């Protein structure tokens, strides 16, 4: 098994930390590029175990930290750079993902790329997959169907007045800033950030996985995604939450039962 770590230049030339795990030497590889979600990072919870499981099943598994996710190169699992977190936005994450794909295509010349994302990372992956001919499959786990309707009008007005909104992280006990530029980016790029439009235009295989007990992103959003692309496959996991039974930190060497089901379904789908 080969484990490699690399840095590439992301949005605003901020460095992205990228992990690769795979076995074998062939350049003709099935590659899975995994995007984490909001308040997430590449090594959250079970993600290292997920990476190993994919690699053991003959995939190149790529996971990375978005350039402005709030972690640092020195401490990639702690939100030490809240200024970067506050200045993150969806356009920056799309740029970051594009740069990761560029680098993978240089390293594996005949890569067959699947984009996989959890929560917001799945939405970013869907947007990217609809506009990039290098992508062969798209898989989302517990992902939203819309980036532009997550806040009430009253909260948006307060955001405009204050210039910043604070997101409380119950795990780390941090009040994490999100500057108004996030909202501005969404409005200025609303066509490019339209998940419904992107999913409706997909011409590659799509798998949508969601838990029916997800309190963060309701299962209706997965049903909407499927409705917009009737050629997609929808897989609902009974009694599963937003992280499919995972947690951070996660100390077991076995995946939670629901996440194991999700991973196996994903591997079956992209192996077809």
165 lies in some domain: no
Q: What is the DSSP letter of 86?
A: H
Mean pLDDT, the chain, whole residue set: 96
Of 15-29, 87-101, 183-197, minimum mean pLDDT range: 15-29
How many angstroms separate the Cα of 80 from the Cα of each of 73, 86, 117, 219? 10, 12, 23, 33
Structural domains in the chain (count): 1
125 lies in some domain: yes
246 lies in some domain: yes
The packing angle between helices 90-107 and 120-129, to 10°, is 60
How many angstroms separate the Cα of 132 from the Cα of each of 34, 96, 102, 126, 158? 16, 14, 11, 10, 37
pLDDT band at 151; cut points 50, 70, 90: confident
| DSSP state letters, 18-50 | EEEEE-S--SS-EEEEEE--TT--TTSTTHHHH
Inter-residue contact 85 to 54 (CB < 8 Å): no
| pTM score of the predicted model | 0.97
Q: List the beta bridge partners of residue 7.
A: 17
Range of the domain at 126: 2-148+193-271
Closest CA to 28 of 133, 112, 114: 112
249 lies in some domain: yes
3-state secondary structure of 242: coil
3-state secondary structure of 207: strand
Output the pLDDT for position 110.
85
174 lies in some domain: no
Over the stretch 184-222, which tens digit does the pLDDT of each residue have? 999 999 999 999 999 999 999 999 999 999 999 999 999
232 lies in some domain: yes
The terminus-to-terminus CA distance of the chain in angstroms comes to: 24
Over the stretch 227-244, which tens digit does the pLDDT of each residue have? 999 999 999 999 999 999
The first and second tokens of residue 244, run together, are 């499919």
Query: From CA 153, how far away is CA 200, in angstroms rounded?
Result: 27
CATH number of the domain that 92 lies in?
3.40.50.1820
Asked whether residue 26 carries a pLDDT value surpassing 70, the answer given is: no
234 lies in some domain: yes
Output the pLDDT for position 28.
59
61 lies in some domain: yes
Output the pLDDT for position 150.
86
Over the stretch 35-59, which tens digit does the pLDDT of each residue have? 999 999 999 999 999 999 999 999 9
Other CB atoms within 10 A of residue 170 CB: 7
How many angstroms separate the Cα of 81 from the Cα of each of 69, 78, 118, 177? 8, 9, 22, 11
* Distance, C-alpha 55 to centroid of its chain: 18
Instruction: Kindly state the percentage of the chain with pLDDT values over 90.
Output: 93
CB burial of residue 152 (10 Å; 0-12, 13-18, 19+)? exposed
């Amino acid at each position: 098994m080969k484990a490699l770590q690399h840095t590439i230049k992301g949005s605003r030339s901020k460095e992205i930390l990228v992990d690769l795990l795979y076995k074998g030497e062939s350049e003709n590889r099935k590659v899975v590029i995994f995007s984490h979600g909001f308040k997430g990072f590449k090594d959250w919870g079970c993600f290292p175990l997920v990476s190993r499981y994919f690699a053991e099943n003959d995939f190149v598994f790529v996971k990375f930290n978005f350039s402005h996710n709030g972690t640092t190169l020195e401490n990639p699992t702690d939100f030490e750079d809240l200024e970067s977190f506050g200045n993150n936005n969806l356009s920056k994450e799309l740029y970051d993902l594009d740069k990761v794909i560029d680098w993978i295509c240089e390293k594996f010349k005949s890569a067959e790329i699947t984009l996989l994302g959890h929560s917001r990372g799945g939405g970013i992956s869907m947007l990217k997959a609809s506009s990039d001919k290098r992508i062969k499959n798209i898989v989302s786990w517990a992902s939203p169907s819309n980036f532009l309707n997550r806040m009430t009008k009253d909260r948006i007005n307060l955001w405009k007045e204050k210039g910043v909104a604070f997101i409380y992280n119950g795990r780390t006990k941090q009040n994490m800033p999100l500057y108004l530029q996030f909202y501005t980016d969404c409005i200025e790029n609303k066509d490019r950030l339209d998940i419904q439009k992107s999913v409706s235009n997909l011409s590659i295989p799509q798998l949508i996985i969601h838990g029916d007990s997800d309190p963060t992103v309701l299962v209706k959003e997965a049903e909407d995604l499927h409705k917009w692309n009737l050629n997609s496959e929808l897989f609902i996991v009974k009694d599963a939450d937003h992280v499919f039974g995972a947690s951070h930190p996660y100390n077991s060497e076995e995946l939670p039962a629901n996440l194991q089901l999700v991973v196996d379904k994903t591997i079956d789908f992209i192996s077809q």
